[in-house]
Amino acid sequence: MKAEPSIDTGDLKGDEKILAIADKRLRFCIDSLDKIHRESLEDLMFYSGQHWPEDILRQRNDDRRPSETINKLPAFVFQITNNMRMSEPQAKIRPVDNVTDPDTAEVIQGMIRGIMHNGNSKSAIDTASFYQVVSGMGFVRILTKYVDKESFNQELVVSRIENPMSVYFPIDLINEIDFSDMPYCFIRTRISKDDFFEEYPNEDMTSYDVGGVGEDYWVGGDYLYICEYFEKKCEYEKMYLLSNGEITKDKARVKAAKEEGLTVDNERDVETSKVIWRKITRSTILEEKEFPGEYIPVVPFIGQPIVVNGEKRFLGMVRNAKSPQRMYNYAFNALIETLALAPRAPYVMAQGQIEGYEEIWATANSKNNAYLPYHPITIDSVAVPPPQRTAPPEAGSSLFASVNLASEQLKEVTGIYDASLGAGGSEKSGKAIIARQKQGTVGSYHYVDNQATAIKHMTRIMVDIVPEIYDTERAVRMLGEDETEKIVMVNKMHGDQNDPEKLYDLTVGKYDIVIDVGPDYETKRMETAENLMNIMQSNPQSAAPIMDLLYRNLDFTYAAEAGDRMKKIIQTQFPGVIEDEEDNQGGKQTEAQLQAMVQDLQKVMQAHQMTMQENGQLKQMLSGMQAQLASKQEENQIKADTAVIKAQAEIQKAQIQARSQVMSREADMMMHHADRMDKHIDRVYQANSQNQTQQKSVPGEEPEPVGQ
Q: Which residue has the higher pLDDT, 706 or 683?
A: 683
User: Among 518, 551, 579, which residue terminates a domain?
Assistant: 518
**Is 625 contained in some domain?**
no
Report pLDDT for 209: 55
Q: Is 383 left (phi over 0), alpha (psi -120 to 50) or beta?
A: beta
**Is 425 contained in some domain?**
yes
State how far Cα 275 lies from the chain centre. Answer: 27
Query: Any idea which of 11-20, 47-56, 409-418, 521-530 has the lowest mean pLDDT?
Result: 521-530
Query: Any idea which of 304-318, 495-509, 534-548 has the lowest mean pLDDT?
Result: 495-509
Q: Which residue has the higher pLDDT, 82 or 557?
A: 82
**Is 563 contained in some domain?**
no
Report pLDDT for 128: 95
Report pLDDT for 41: 94
pLDDT per residue as tens digits for the range 571-613: 787 777 676 444 444 444 445 555 555 455 455 455 544 455 5
Long-range (24+ apart) CB contacts under 8 A made by 586-589 are 586/498, 586/499, 587/103, 587/499, 589/628, 589/632
pLDDT band at 143 (very low <50, low <70, confident <90, very high): very high
pLDDT band at 510 (very low <50, low <70, confident <90, very high): confident
Residues 382 and 402 in one domain: no
pLDDT band at 310 (very low <50, low <70, confident <90, very high): confident
Which residues constitute the domain of residue 371?
346-390
Residues 466 and 363 in one domain: no
CA neighbours closer than 13 Å in the CB half-sphere of residue 295: 22
Q: What is d(CA 331, CA 398) in angstroms, rounded to the nearest whole number?
A: 10
* DSSP reduced 3-state for 707: coil
65 φ, ψ to 5°? -105, 150
List the end-to-end C-alpha distance of the chain, in Å, as a whole number.
Answer: 136
**Is 685 contained in some domain?**
no
**Is 2 contained in some domain?**
no
The answer to whether the beta carbons of residues 378 and 391 sit under 8 Å apart is no
User: Among 518, 549, 584, which residue terminates a domain?
Assistant: 518
Residues 325 and 404 in one domain: yes
The answer to whether the beta carbons of residues 228 and 187 sit under 8 Å apart is yes
Q: Which residue has the higher pLDDT, 282 or 483?
A: 282
The number of domains in the chain is 2
Residues 444 and 360 in one domain: no
The answer to whether the beta carbons of residues 498 and 488 sit under 8 Å apart is no
Q: Which residue has the higher pLDDT, 290 or 569?
A: 290
Please name the residues in contact with 32: beta carbons below 8 A apart, sequence gap of 6 or more.
2, 170, 171, 172
> Which among 106-110, 436-440, 490-494, 524-528 has the top mean pLDDT?
106-110
pLDDT band at 291 (very low <50, low <70, confident <90, very high): very high
Report pLDDT for 208: 60
Q: What is d(CA 517, CA 451) in angstroms, rounded to the nearest whole number?
A: 9
Residues 498 and 443 in one domain: yes
Name the nearest CA neighbour of 40 among 318, 298, 446, 414: 318
Which residues lie across from 233 on neighbouring strands?
274
Q: What is d(CA 155, CA 146) in angstroms, rounded to the nearest whole number?
A: 6
Regarding beta strands 154-160 and 137-146, do their DSSP bridges make them parallel or antiparallel, or are they unpaired?
A: antiparallel
Name the nearest CA neighbour of 552 among 536, 570, 538, 565: 565
Report pLDDT for 612: 52
Rounded mean pLDDT, 634-654: 73
The answer to whether the beta carbons of residues 466 and 290 sit under 8 Å apart is no
pLDDT per residue as tens digits for the range 114-126: 888 877 888 999 9
Is it the case that residue 497 has pLDDT exceeding 80?
no
Report pLDDT for 586: 41
With b for 16 or more beta-carbon neighbours within 10 A and e for fewer, the 91-109 pattern comes to bbbebeeeebbeebbbbbb
Between helices 14-47 and 119-135, what is the axis angle to 10°?
70
Residues 493 and 404 in one domain: yes
Is it the case that residue 684 has pLDDT exceeding 80?
no
Report pLDDT for 614: 58
Residues in the chain: 708
Residues 353 and 434 in one domain: no
Report pLDDT for 581: 42
Residues 451 and 352 in one domain: no
Q: What is d(CA 508, CA 471) in angstroms, rounded to the nearest whole number?
A: 10
Report pLDDT for 433: 57
Q: What is d(CA 134, CA 319) in angstroms, rounded to the nearest whole number?
A: 8
- DSSP structural state of residue 344: G
Residues 365 and 458 in one domain: no
The answer to whether the beta carbons of residues 535 and 553 sit under 8 Å apart is no
Four-point Cα dihedral 43, 45, 50, 55, nearest 10: -80
Q: What is d(CA 171, CA 692) in angstroms, rounded to the nearest whole number?
A: 139
Residues 494 and 440 in one domain: yes
pTM of the entire predicted model: 0.67
pLDDT band at 212 (very low <50, low <70, confident <90, very high): very low
Q: Secondary structure of 193-261 in the HEC alphabet?
A: HHHHHHHCCCCCHHHHCCCCCCHHHHEECCEEEEEEEEEEEEEEEEEEEECCCCEECCHHHHHHHHHCC
pLDDT per residue as tens digits for the range 155-211: 899 999 999 999 999 999 999 999 999 999 999 999 888 888 888 887 765 666 544
**Is 538 contained in some domain?**
no
Report pLDDT for 29: 94
Report pLDDT for 584: 43
User: Among 464, 486, 518, which residue terminates a domain?
Assistant: 518
pLDDT per residue as tens digits for the range 435-450: 555 665 677 888 989 9
**Is 259 contained in some domain?**
no
Residues 329 and 350 in one domain: no
Name the nearest CA neighbour of 33 among 165, 141, 226, 201: 165
**Is 237 contained in some domain?**
no
Residues 356 and 492 in one domain: no
